Structure formats: structure tokens, C-alpha cells
């Protein structure tokens, strides 16, 4: 079984030998995957959030509402395209395309599957691969923010500029944490090639615990659990998704960097967000979830990691990660900007540095199995990290009763109705009645005398 799996793993020597029409087909496939996954991702998010909020979501246009995203795109295309007078026309026009191009370009080095046969040509299901492919992924992730920054600057308005500056600070803060997380992957896999990293995650060994041998998982999400947690949090921050969507906080910045955009340019900014979400899900799958390799117990089937089946496992992992993105948006509230920056610099960065030092120390020990010792430390460290991040920082204070809240209000504050819900009479009405009461008494006595 191991010989069959290893025979399917592509290497750097397998790239650069395809005919031109096969390379063109791979490029079209990667672009179509990014576009279709984005269109379906918008529909998927609206349906999942609708389910979480106990409402149907889009269900009118097409079967199950699948054509709703296409209808929204056509609607945006026919809207009026407004160009602000103070805008830099060239930069204003090209800024939305930068984010989309960078997100789609990252898919060129993502492996979708193993070696397959296409019209008699034995080729990997990947556009291309280079010895520093992961650095290309980081470069695309970093360049994508330029579209947001330039879009906010070129609009010639204050609020879009503030949104663009927020995005640049956000990118700097979380790009460092993301890069340090990938350093742990480099150290463990021994390569920066994406196909090599996927192949390294297929090397399963036997781990001895208390005299019992158990199969050691090969996925870096388990082997490097702290790096996986930090990388995914940084990914959410990089893609400007909730609860880290500070560059477009509509409660503070009037929709942020895209305030002055309309029609297709606004649609491109929305498209770039979802393309980046799908792309980073694919990158996370490649680096930490075994790439196109089948999860257990599907691996018990000998043909699970050969042929075209691995593409199905890859798509399933990407959909699962996109669901987590949507789940976070429908669950967590938006953070304050100071909380967001403090979390990136004072929490994620120090923890990542300490974890890399621990990992380096473990790998320097010669008389202990590397994979076993890393797993023995990684899982408790990852659990401790999750507990530290999500444990409440303060004890819940007892809530005062309604009467205590009323009594604690200072004199002259906004009046509250009494606890027995009997509203006292108006002072004005009481005064008017008191002034008129003697006249009514006199009039009444005269009428009785008559």
C-alpha cells in the first residue's frame, strides 16, 4: 500500500514537462475553481447564516437559490458606476482588480491531487510548483492588501482612507504570526514546496505510548497543533473576515475602504474577499490538513489516495474550512480595534515564538523519535493554547436586581416607572386641578343653594 501511495506523489521533477494545451487547461481549471467556489461560497454563507438565524436564506432564484449570487452580480453590473471627482482615476479603477488577481494567483501552486493520466500524459493535478512555493503564497497574501489600501486612498475621501490604513496595520500585525506558523511547517517537512509538504504529511509512523504502538497521524494540524491554531486565526485576520473585519466596520467607517465604489468595482471587492477566503482554505488544507490525502477511515481503502478520488477529499476539506469561516461570522461579534491589535502583537506573536523554540529544541534531541516527541508536546500545548484563548478573562459579576439598579441611580437621572407599574399623576395636571378646585367648590355650593 505504501508503495502505491508514494508512486502517486508528484515531485519538482514532474513539473515543466506538460504540453502547452495541458498547462492551459490547468490554468483554466484553477481559475474556474476560484470563480465557481466564490459564487457558491456566497450562496453557502447566506444559507448557513440563515439556518443559524432560523430563517430560510436565498431560496427563490434557481433550485435552492443557487442562482441568487449570479442574479446579484447581474444587478450590480447594471447599477450606475459613480466616479468621485477627487478620485485618482487610474488607481481607483485598478485597485479592485489587484485583490482578485493576487487571490487567484495563489491557487497556481496549490496541489489539487496526485499524479493522474490525462489523455495519455502522466501529470500532477497542480498548475506548477517551485522550491519556494509557500513564499509565493505569502507574497500573494501580502500583495492582496494593496488593493484595499489603494482603493481607500484613491477614493479621495476620509473614511475610505481610514479603512485602507486599518487594513495595512492589520496585514502587518497578522502576517508576522502567519509566517512564523509556517516556519514550523518548514522545519518539520524539510521543504518549502507545496507538493513536498503534502507528501511529508503522508509519512505515518508508529507511536509507542505506555508500551502500546498506535499509528501516529501525519497531518500537521495534529503534529503542529499550536501552529495550526495560530495560522487559522491569522488567516481570518488576513482575509478581513468577522470578527476581524475592521477595515469595513460599517458601524464606524461607513463601509470602510469601499464606501465610494459602486457597480462592478464594488462587486470585485466583494468577490476578492470570498476568493481570498476560498484560497486561504485551500492553503490551510495543503499545509496542515494533508492536502488531497484522504482522512481516516477512508485511508483503509487502498485506492483512496490514487487516481481522481483525492480531488474529492481536497474539496471536502476546503468546504469544511469555509464553513468554519461562516460559523465564526454568524457567532462572534466584532472586536474593538485596540483589542484586535493587542491580540496580534501581545498574544499570537509571543506564543508562536515560544512554540518555535520548543520545536527546535525537540528536533535537536537525537535519541528520541522526532515525530513521537513532537506529538507528545504538540497536543497538550495546542489544548493549553485553546484554553488560554477562549477561557473567560474575568469572573462573571452577579447581576443586581431591578430595585438595586433604581436605587443606585443618582438624583436627577432619567426617571423610571415605579415597580408596581402605577404611574403617578403628572405634576402639571395636579397643579391645574388644585388651582381650579376652589372655584368648582364655590360653583357647586351656589348651585346647591339655588
Tens-place pLDDT, residues 153-200? 898 888 888 888 888 888 888 888 888 899 889 888 888 999 999 988
Q: What is the pLDDT of residue 245?
A: 80
Beta-carbon contacts of 298 under 8 Å, excluding residues fewer than 6 positions away, are 304, 313
* Neighbouring C-beta atoms of residue 73, cutoff 10 Å: 15
The per-residue pLDDT for 438 is 59
Q: How far is CA 67 from the centre of its chain?
A: 24
Cis peptide preceding 243, ω within 30 of 0: yes
CA atoms within 13 A on the CB side of 14: 21
In Å, what is the CA distance from 271 to each residue of 84, 160, 265, 274, 363? 22, 18, 10, 5, 42
Provide the CB-side half-sphere exposure for 152 (13 A, CA): 22
- Of residues 6 and 134, which shows the higher confidence score? 134
The Cα-based distances of 158 to 14, 254, 255, 334 in angstroms read: 51, 10, 12, 22
Q: Which residues pair with 208 in a beta bridge?
A: 213
Percent of all residues in the chain with a pLDDT value above 90, rounded to a whole number: 16
Between these two residues, 166 and 213, which has the higher pLDDT value? 166
Residues 65 and 59: their CA atoms lie apart, in Å, by 4
Q: Round to whole Å and give the CA distance between 359 and 117.
A: 39
146-155: average pLDDT: 87
| Gap between the Cα atoms of 162 and 58, Å rounded | 33
Determine which of 164-168, 235-239, 345-349, 420-424 has the lowest per-residue pLDDT on average.
Answer: 420-424
Give the model's pLDDT for residue 311.
92
User: Where do the structural domains in the chain lie, given as residue ranges?
Assistant: 2-390
Which range has the top average pLDDT, 204-208, 324-328, 406-410?
324-328
pLDDT at position 209, please?
Answer: 52
> Residue 213 and residue 211: Cα distance in Å, rounded?
7
Pairwise CA distance, residues 226 & 276, whole Å: 23
Best CA proximity match to 115, nearest among 126, 129, 107? 126
Q: Tell me: the pLDDT tens digits for 256-315?
A: 788 888 888 888 888 888 888 999 999 999 999 988 988 877 877 888 888 889 999 999
Q: Check pLDDT > 70 for residue 3.
A: no
Indicate if the pLDDT at residue 97 is higher than 80: yes
CA 284 to chain centre: 11
The sign of the torsion formed by the CA atoms of 62, 68, 69, 74 equals: positive
Contact (Cβ atoms closer than 8 angstroms) between residue 278 and residue 38: yes
CA distance linking residue 37 with residue 59, whole number of Å: 19
pLDDT classification of 1: cutoffs 50, 70, 90:
very low
Q: What is the pLDDT of residues 309-320, one digit of tens each?
A: 999 999 999 999
Q: What is the pLDDT of residue 208?
A: 53
pLDDT value at position 212? 58
Cα(64)–Cα(304) distance, rounded to whole angstroms? Answer: 31
Residue 152 pLDDT grade (very low, low, confident, very high; cuts 50, 70, 90) = confident
Tell me which H or E stretch contains 28: helix 20-52
Amino acid at each position: 500500500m505504501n508503495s502505491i501511495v508514494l508512486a502517486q506523489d508528484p515531485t519538482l521533477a514532474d513539473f515543466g514537462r506538460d504540453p502547452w494545451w495541458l498547462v492551459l487547461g490547468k490554468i483554466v481549471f484553477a481559475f474556474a475553481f476560484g470563480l465557481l467556489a466564490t459564487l457558491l461560497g456566497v450562496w453557502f454563507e447566506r444559507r448557513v447564516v440563515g439556518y443559524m438565524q432560523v430563517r430560510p436564506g436565498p431560496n427563490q432564484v434557481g433550485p435552492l437559490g443557487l442562482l441568487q449570487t449570479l442574479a446579484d452580480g447581474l444587478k450590480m453590473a447594471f447599477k450606475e458606476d459613480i466616479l468621485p471627482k477627487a478620485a485618482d482615476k487610474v488607481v481607483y479603477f485598478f485597485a479592485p482588480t489587484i485583490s482578485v488577481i493576487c487571490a487567484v494567483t495563489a491557487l497556481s501552486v496549490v496541489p489539487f491531487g496526485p499524479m493522474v493520466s490525462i489523455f495519455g500524459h502522466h501529470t500532477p493535478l497542480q498548475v506548477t510548483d517551485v522550491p519556494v512555493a509557500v513564499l509565493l503564497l505569502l507574497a500573494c497574501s501580502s500583495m492582496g492588501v494593496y488593493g484595499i489600501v489603494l482603493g481607500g486612498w484613491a477614493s479621495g475621501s476620509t473614511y475610505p482612507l481610514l479603512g485602507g490604513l486599518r487594513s495595512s496595520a492589520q496585514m502587518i500585525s497578522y502576517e508576522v504570526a502567519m509566517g512564523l506558523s509556517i516556519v514550523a511547517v518548514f522545519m518539520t517537512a524539510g521543504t518549502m514546496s507545496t507538493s513536498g509538504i503534502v507528501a511529508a504529511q503522508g509519512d505515518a509512523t508508529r507511536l509507542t505510548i505506555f508500551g502500546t504502538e498506535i499509528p501516529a497521524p501525519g497531518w500537521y494540524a495534529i503534529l503542529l497543533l499550536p501552529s495550526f491554531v495560530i495560522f487559522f486565526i491569522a488567516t481570518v485576520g488576513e482575509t478581513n473576515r468577522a470578527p476581524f473585519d475592521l477595515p469595513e466596520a460599517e458601524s464606524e467607517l461607513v463601509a470602510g475602504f469601499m464606501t465610494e465604489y459602486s457597480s462592478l468595482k464594488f462587486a470585485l471587492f466583494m468577490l476578492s474577499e470570498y476568493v481570498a477566503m476560498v484560497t486561504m482554505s485551500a492553503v490551510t488544507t495543503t499545509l496542515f490538513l494533508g492536502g488531497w490525502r484522504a482522512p481516516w477511515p477512508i485511508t483503509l481503502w487502498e485506492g483512496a489516495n490514487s487516481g481522481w478520488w483525492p480531488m474529492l477529499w481536497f474539496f471536502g476539506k476546503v468546504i469544511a474550512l469555509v464553513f468554519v469561516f461562516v460559523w465564526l461570522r454568524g457567532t462572534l461579534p466584532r472586536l474593538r480595534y485596540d483589542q484586535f491589535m493587542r491580540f496580534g502583537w501581545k498574544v499570537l506573536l509571543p506564543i508562536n515564538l515560544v512554540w518555535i523554540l520548543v520545536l527546535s529544541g525537540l528536533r535537536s534531541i537525537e535519541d528520541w523519535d522526532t515525530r513521537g516527541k513532537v506529538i507528545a508536546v504538540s497536543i497538550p500545548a495546542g489544548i493549553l493554547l485553546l484554553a488560554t484563548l477562549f477561557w473567560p478573562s474575568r469572573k462573571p459579576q452577579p447581576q443586581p436586581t431591578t430595585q438595586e439598579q433604581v436605587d443606585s441611580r443618582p438624583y436627577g437621572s432619567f426617571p423610571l416607572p415605579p415597580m408596581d407599574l402605577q404611574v403617578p399623576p403628572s405634576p402639571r395636571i395636579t397643579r391645574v386641578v388644585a388651582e381650579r378646585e376652589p372655584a368648582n367648590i364655590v360653583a357647586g355650593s351656589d348651585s346647591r343653594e339655588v
